[in-house]
Amino acid sequence: MQALPGFRDFLPTDCAARNYIFAHWREVARRYGFVEWDGPVLEPTELYRKKSGDEIIGQLFNFTDKGEREVALRPELTPTLARIIAAHEREFKKPLKWFSIGSCFRYEKQQRGRLREHIQLNCDVIGEPGLAADIELVALSIDILRVFGFNEKDFVVRISDREFWIDFLKSQNVPEASWQEILQTIDKSEREPREKTIEKLGALSDPVLAILEKGGRSEKLEKLVDGLRARGLADFVDVDVRIVRGLAYYTGIVFEVFDRVGKLRAVAGGGRYDNLIEQLSDGATKLPAVGFAMGDVVLGELIKDRPTASQKMETTLRDESKIDIYVVVAKEERRADALAQVQQLRDGGYRVDYPLVPEKVGKQFQLAEDLGATIAVLYGDEWPQVKVKTLATREEKLVPNSDLFARIDSLLR
Ligand code: HAM
């Protein structure tokens, strides 16, 4: 029996890589003053029907539960966040800076960088309408990628503004009912044949294509880039109005992060969604919000692709997987004494391993090397003394078992 298509098994090395990504995500989010939240993986399907848009609705893993409820595995975290904020916002001072790491499920065709279960880091600022919040989030997305060892030659944040397009649609007297569809067409224009885009845009195709080819700018976008320039991050961003984003709830600045080679889908995407909380709470709570999510699948591919990033990860994982001490049981009569010491050393916070069953001494030393132990402690004929060996230098010293802890402390701390 295999895992379902698009779902992953995590063997220990995969788990280590995943934890490496999580640790860096958490570390940088906390550097920016974000606090962690979480929510359920199963939600009422209604939560997504309201505002996420047709694309996501078509990809839902949804079913009727045993209580006849229409439910769906979350395809993203933003509607859950909006639901939680609407229920609890009075308990917190604004603005809120919240992050979450969680699995999301989308019934997509499995391909490179696209699975049916992926894990997202979500970072959102709630309750701040000004551009400072948008700038803070773009900066955070950049700093997260920098911490993995990427630089401005590796990735770019393509920043756009839905308001730019809304102003354009208003200037063309396009009725509001058609805006979403046109925005979706613009969003897909990079991935779809030109003829299809022209057909879908109809009379609007000439002016839209002219903007897409020439590029578009606005005062707001200039200010955003200025804000990033002031932080020394301007080289990481491009104003690019071809970005519109697939999700329906965005209202202002939108951005997506891509590898410069352009081989992979976006590693992160987000934007401002000032109406979602109000819409999901039927008007009860009105709070502006902006955020982004970064996926572990594309990020993992990017890390594999770039030697600096993959070497950084390998070195960290190698160091983290090492144990401190391997206790060699050379004489089975000493096993109980050895185990008493193993317990004490572990209580002292050291990573300690030993053979669960009798093994030849040579094999035990080999295991100590394989596990990356710094020190081997041998329980054998020398009892009540034990042999402490520093594996890298092969230096050995006999010490009384009662002094072992102090000796280990002096070697390892
Ligand atoms: P999204 O662009 O749909 O945005 O997803 C964010 C990131 O999740 C993508 O850039 C991609 O790396 C990853 N991702 C999405 N779908 C898949 C998939 N099927 N397989 C692998 N990775 C995937 C959102 O989800 C918004 N809720 C982000 C947001 C937060 N906006 C405001 N706050």
Does domain 323-412 fall under CATH 3.30.1310.10? My reply is no
What's the start-to-end Cα distance of the chain, in Å? 47
> pLDDT of 253-310, one tens digit each?
999 999 999 889 999 999 999 999 999 999 999 999 999 999 999 999 999 999 999 9
The residues near 379 (Cβ < 8 Å, ≥ 6 apart) are 327, 328, 329, 330, 331, 334, 335, 337, 338, 341, 386
Amino acid present at 168: F
How many Cβ atoms are within 10 Å of 340's Cβ, its own excluded? 11
Predicted confidence at residue 246, as pLDDT, reads 85
pLDDT band at 62 (very low <50, low <70, confident <90, very high): very high
Predicted confidence at residue 208, as pLDDT, reads 94
Q: Is the CB of 122 under 6 A from ligand 1?
A: yes
Q: What is the DSSP letter of 264?
A: S
Architecture of domain 12-315: 2-Layer Sandwich (3.30)
Amino acid present at 65: D
| Alpha carbon of 100 to ligand 1 centroid (Å) | 13
Min mean pLDDT across 14-18, 72-76, 214-218 is at: 214-218
Q: Is the CB of 76 under 6 A from ligand 1?
A: yes
Q: Is the CB of 295 under 6 A from ligand 1?
A: yes
> pLDDT of 389-407, one tens digit each?
999 999 999 999 999 999 9
Residues 22 and 101: their CA atoms lie apart, in Å, by 8
| H-helix or E-strand spanning residue 302 | helix 296-305
% of the chain at pLDDT higher than 70: 100
Q: What are the residue ranges spanned by the domains of the chain? A: 12-315, 323-412
146 phi, psi to nearest 5 deg:
-60, -35
* Whether residue 162 has pLDDT greater than 90: yes
> pLDDT of 98-121, one tens digit each?
999 999 999 999 888 999 999 999
Contact 47, 77 (CB under 8 A): no
pLDDT band at 311 (very low <50, low <70, confident <90, very high): very high
Predicted confidence at residue 308, as pLDDT, reads 95
Q: Is the CB of 159 under 6 A from ligand 1?
A: no
Q: Is the CB of 303 under 6 A from ligand 1?
A: no
Predicted confidence at residue 310, as pLDDT, reads 97
Give the largest CA-CA distance in the chain. Answer: 93
> pLDDT of 169-192, one tens digit each?
999 999 999 998 999 999 999 889
Q: Is the CB of 269 under 6 A from ligand 1?
A: yes
**CA angle (90, 93, 97) in 5-degree steps:** 110
| Alpha carbon of 122 to ligand 1 centroid (Å) | 9
> pLDDT of 64-91, one tens digit each?
999 999 999 999 999 999 999 999 999 9
**Tokens 């294509």 identify what position?**
209
Closest atom of ligand 1 to 124 CA is: 33
